[in-house]
Structure 1
Amino acid sequence: MTILEDARRVAENGPVCDACLGRCFADRSFGLTNAERGRSLRIAAALEDDEPYEPEDEVCWVCEDESQRFDEWAEKVADSLEGWNFDTYQVGTRTPPLIEENEALLRESADLPDDAGESFKSEFNREVGKRVGQLTETEVDFERPDVLALLNVEAAPRASDDGAISDHAVEVQINSAFVYGRYRKLERDIPQTEWPCRECGGSGKQLAAGGGEEPCDHCGGSGYLYDESVEQLTTPPVLDAMDGEEALFHGAGREDVDALMLDTGRPFVIEVKRPQRRNVDTDALEAEINEFADGKAEVTDLTLATHGMVERVKELDASKTYRMDVEFDADVSEQALEEAVEELRGTTVEQDTPQRVDHRRASITRTRTVYDVEGHLEDERHAELEVHGEGGLYVKELVSGDEGRTTPSLAGLLGVGAEVTALDVVAVEGEDEAFDDPEYLKESA
C-alpha cells in the first residue's frame, strides 16, 4: 500500500491531530516536522480524492493535544532553569500510559507495525528540547548535560483543562560542576580528606561514667583526628565561587599523613553539587584557594573539567617519586649504600601488606617495580634517598623491609635496621603522559 492509503486509514481513526498522524510515517518521509508531515499527507490525500482539505479541529484522542503545547512546555522549562548557570541541557519526558496505549491502538487499527514512525516520547523530547535551546541559548548534550529537565506530561493539565502547566510537572536536575588541578601539601600531619574520629564516629562525644555525654577523649571533642585536611583547605573557595550545595574532594591516591606533597603536586578534582554558577575564572579561583590555605597547601593548573575526570583521577595509574630521610641503627659506608642502591634500581620487589596498614587493608602480596633510586649519606647513620617507583609501591617498607614482608629492601641489602624519618612526595605522574595535559583531560573525559 502507498503512504497515502496508510495515512487515510490513520486519519479515519480520528480525531487525530497532524502531529500524531505524521508521527506514524516519520521513517518514511524526511525534512518535515511531524505536524507538517501530517498536514501534507491530509492535503495530498484530499487532492488525490478531489475533495476539499479540512484541517482537524477537534481534540486529538491520541495525545489529547499535548503535541500542540511544545512552546508552553519549553517556556515552563526555561522558567524552571531561571537563575542557574549552564551551557548544556537535556530534556526527558515521562509519557502517560494512556497516550502510549492510544499510540499502540492507532497503529493497530490502521494495520501499521507497532514501531512504525516515531513515538510520542521521542518527538516530545526533541521538539521541546529544541525550543529550550533557543530560549536559553544553550546546547543539547545527550551524554552528561549540565542540567536535565524531566517533563511529567501525566501531571500536567490536558488541552481540555484550564490553567498553565503546573510547576510540579517539570522536574529539574542540576548536575555537578567539576574543577581539576594539582595540590601541594606543605605541612606534615595534614590528611588529604576529613578524618573522623574512630572512637566517637565523628560526633565528638562519648558516654560519661555517670550517664549522659561528655567530649570524646580521643579527639578532644572535635570529632576529627586532625583539625585540617587538604579537602578543608581547598574546597570552601570553590563551593563559594560556584554557589553550590556541597563540595566533594577526589584525589589521585593519597600520601601518608606525615608526608609532604611537593613539586609537581597530586592531581585532584573538586566536585560541586547543584552549582548556581559554572563558568568561574579558574585563575582567580586558584589565587583564592592559595590565599585561603594560608601556606599549608596550594593548588596549581586549575581548570574546569567534566564528570569523567573524577573516575580518571581516581583510577589514575600513576608512578610516584619520593624523597626521604633515612636513619640506620648501625654505621653504613658510602660504598655499601651505593651497592645497595644499585641493587634496588630497576628491580621488582614483593611486598606483603605492611603491618602499619593491615588493620584496614586485605593481606595480599603484591609486586611493584622500582624504576630508579638515588641516594647519598649525610653521615654514617643518616642518608637521603630519592625513589621513583610504580604506583602502589610502599616506599617506607622498601627501606625498612617491614620485618621481611618486603624483599628485597634497603635494610636487608645493607644488613642493618633502616627507618624513614621524613618523607616527601615530589611527583605524581600518570603512566600515560597525556594525562598531565589539562586539555587532553577535558576532551577525553
Structure 2
Amino acid sequence: MSNYQKIIPIANKITKKYPLCDNCLGRLFSKQLHLSSNKFLGKKLNQNPVEKCYVCKNLFGNLDHFLKLMLDKSAGYSFKTFGIGVIVKPSIVDRDDFIRSQYKLRGIDSIKTDITKEIGKLYSKRTKKTIDHLDPDVTFTINFKEELCDLRSKSITFSGRYLKSERGFSQKQKPCDNCSGKGCRVCDFHGISEYDSVEGAISKPLFQKFGGTTTKFTWIGGEDKSSLVLGSGRPFFVKIQNPHKQKAKFSNVTVGPIKIINLKPVYESPKKPLKFNSVISVKISTESQIDSKMLKKLKDLTINPVVVYEKSGRRSEKKIFNVKSKKNSNNLFTLIVKAEGGLPIKRFVTGDDIAPGISSILDTPCECREFDFLEIEMQ
C-alpha cells in the first residue's frame, strides 16, 4: 500500500467531522508525501466542496486582498529581497493545533507558516522580488486579524567626514518639540523639524536621497557651536532608519557651511568608542601680560598625560603629543596642540578639574576665546 493510500482513510475521517479547505487539508499530509503544493493535494483528497473551512474560515481564499495591501504598502520602496511575518486570530491557531493533536499528526507546518509561504509566493510572483528569511531588505508584517499591513525596511549605515567652514552651527540638532525626537507627523517622522546644525545638514540630503524616517549618529568627538572643522574633516557614522532605497549613488555634497565627504556604506556603527587624535588651534586670552619665554613652559605638556576629573568621580588621562604657541599680543596667544581625542579644551585652558591646565602652567588666569579643529586622525 502506497503512502497516499494510507492517508486517505485518515483524511476522510477528518473531513467527515471537520470541513477543511484544500490548503488546510493538504497541509496535514503534504510533508509525509514529499509534495510541495498543499492545495493540489487537498483538492485531490477533498470528496465534497467546502463552504467554510473549519480551521482558517476561508482565509486562504482571501489572500489576494492581502497581496494588494502588500503591493500598495511597498509601492514607494526600492529593494530586491523581502521577508514576511504574520499575525492571525488565536482561534485559528487553536483549531489548527486541535486537529493536529486529535489525529496525532506530527512534523507538519503550522497554519501561520503555510499562510506566510502562500502570501510570499503570490508577492514574489507578482513583483519578481526574492524571499529572504535571514536578512531581507524589507519586512512585511501582515495582520490578518485587523486586516492591516506594515512594512519596515532594513536600516543602512554610512561612514563619512564633515567639514564646517562657518561658526555658529551646533553639531547636534535640537529634536522636534512635538515628539522629542521620536518622529511624528509634524516633523515628517524625522525626529527633527529644523536643519540648522551639522546633524541636520547631513540628514537632509540623506532623507532626500534614500527616504527613511530618523537618522542616528555616532560622532567621533565633538566641537563647540563656534568652532570650525577643517583639514580632512571630522569622521562620523550615521544610520538611516526605514529607508525607501537600499542603494543610491552619493557624491560629496555641501549644505550651507557643512561639506559632507567620503560617504560610504558600512556594515554597522562601531559598538565601542573609537580612538582618535585631534590637532586643535586654540586662541587664549590672559589676565597678565605674557612673553615668549613664558609660553615655552607649555612644551612640558608633552611629558606627562593631562588628568581629567569628571563630576561623576571618573578619572581619565589624555596624552598631548605636540605643542606650538604663537604670541598675538600682550594678552593673547594661539596654541596649536595635537592631543588624544576627548580632551575638554575650555577646561584645559582654565584648569577646571583638569591638571595640569594652561592657567596653572603660565601662573595667570586664562580663557579660551575660540578653538578650531585643524585635523582629526583615527588611531
What TM-score do you get using the length of structure 1 for normalisation? Answer: 0.65
In the alignment, the residues of structure 1 paired with residue 31 and residue 244 of structure 2 have an alpha-carbon distance, to the nearest angstrom, of 41
Asked if the contact 2:216/2:240 (under 8 Å) is kept, the reply is no
Listed as ranges, the matches of 1:334-413 within 5 Å are 337-338=295-296, 340-345=298-303, 347=305, 349-353=307-311, 363-370=312-319, 372-378=321-327, 382-390=333-341, 392-402=342-352, 405-413=353-361
Percent of aligned positions that are identical: 21
Asked if the contact 1:180/1:268 (under 8 Å) is kept, the reply is yes
2:364 to 416, 423, 427: 416
Listed as ranges, the matches of 1:131-280 within 5 Å are 131-142=122-133, 145-155=136-146, 168-173=147-152, 180-195=159-174, 228-242=196-210, 248=215, 250-252=217-219, 253-268=221-236, 276-280=244-248
What residue ranges of structure 1 are gaps of 5+ in the alignment?
A: 44-52, 156-167, 203-225, 354-362, 432-445
1:324 to 2:328 alignment: no
Residue 230 (structure 1) shift: 2.1
Residue 235 (structure 1) shift: 3.4
1:125 to 2:125 alignment: no
In the alignment, the residues of structure 1 paired with residue 8 and residue 32 of structure 2 have an alpha-carbon distance, to the nearest angstrom, of 11
Q: Deviations over 1:127-186 (max 9, x none)?
A: 32244234323344556644332223235xxxxxxxxxxxx4434445666654321111
In the alignment, the residues of structure 1 paired with residue 195 and residue 122 of structure 2 have an alpha-carbon distance, to the nearest angstrom, of 50
Residue 35 (structure 1) shift: 1.2
Distance 1:54 1:26, change over 3 A: closer
Equivalent residue, structure 1, for 2:186: none
Helix, strand or coil at the partner of 1:12: helix
Equivalent residue, structure 1, for 2:94: 101
In the alignment, the residues of structure 1 paired with residue 300 and residue 321 of structure 2 have an alpha-carbon distance, to the nearest angstrom, of 9
Asked if the contact 1:247/1:273 (under 8 Å) is kept, the reply is yes
Distance 1:186 1:54, change over 3 A: closer
Asked if the contact 2:3/2:33 (under 8 Å) is kept, the reply is no
Residue 272 (structure 1) shift: 5.7
Distance 1:101 1:76, change over 3 A: same
Residue 118 (structure 1) shift: 1.9
2:79 to 65, 78, 86: 86
Equivalent residue, structure 1, for 2:184: none
Distance 1:412 1:386, change over 3 A: same
Q: Deviations over 1:373-432 (max 9, x none)?
A: 322333675242223214x33133223312xx112233333433333333112344555x
Residue 25 (structure 1) shift: 6.0
Residue 6 (structure 1) shift: 7.0
Q: Deviations over 1:346-389 (max 9, x none)?
A: 52513234xxxxxxxxx443313215232233367524222321
Aligned residues: 353
